[in-house]
């Protein structure tokens, strides 16, 4: 039974992108979003809040990845007597953001060119 616009089933390609090693998930869209939020906000607390997640959850995601990779993605620092602590994304974290973002954009470019499938 045909659907609108001439497509038979309205099928569109889609994908889920993540990095893995030895078949085990390492890094995906959620982790990338956390790192970008920390980069932009300067703290894990504000970054997690902006994404609608708890600090504890966001910290757990990052720590789990760091443990699997054996490298730091975020460095935290404490403020003085008045506060002012924060976090910064490490060079390795920046590399993950860049690699993931570039690959995601490449996939999305293919999807834009492909459009709907007439199956």
pLDDT single digits (tens) 18-63: 999 999 999 999 999 999 999 999 999 999 999 999 999 999 999 9
49 lies in a domain?
A: yes
Indicate which CATH number applies to the domain containing 90: 1.10.10.10
Per-residue pLDDT band for 1 (boundaries 50, 70, 90) equals very low
| Position 55 in a domain | yes
In a domain, 86, yes or no: yes
**Domain tally for the chain?**
1
pLDDT tens digits, 57-108: 999 999 999 999 999 999 988 875 666 779 999 999 999 999 999 999 999 9
Give the up-direction half-sphere exposure of residue 58: CA atoms within 13 A in the CB hemisphere. Answer: 23
Residues spanned by the domain of 66: 25-106
pLDDT at 85: 77
Q: Does residue 69 lie in a domain region?
A: yes
Residue 41 belongs to some domain of the structure: yes
What pLDDT score does 12 carry? 79
- Domain assignment present for residue 52? The answer is yes
* pLDDT of res. 6: 47
Residue 102 lies in a domain: yes
Please, is 73 exposed, middle or buried when counting C-beta atoms within 10 Å of its C-beta (0-12, 13-18, 19+)? buried
């Amino acid at each position: 039974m045909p659907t609108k616009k001439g497509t038979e089933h309205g099928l569109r390609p889609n994908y889920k992108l993540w990095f893995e090693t030895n078949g085990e998930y390492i890094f995906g869209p959620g982790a990338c979003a956390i790192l970008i939020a920390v980069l932009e906000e300067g703290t894990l607390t504000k970054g997690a809040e902006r994404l609608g997640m708890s600090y504890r959850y966001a910290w757990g995601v990052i720590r789990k990845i760091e443990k699997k990779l054996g490298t730091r993605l975020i460095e935290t620092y404490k403020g003085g007597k008045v506060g002012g602590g924060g976090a910064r994304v490490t060079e390795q974290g920046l590399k993950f953001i860049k690699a993931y973002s570039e690959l995601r954009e490449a996939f999305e470019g293919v999807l834009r060119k492909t459009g709907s499938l007439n199956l």
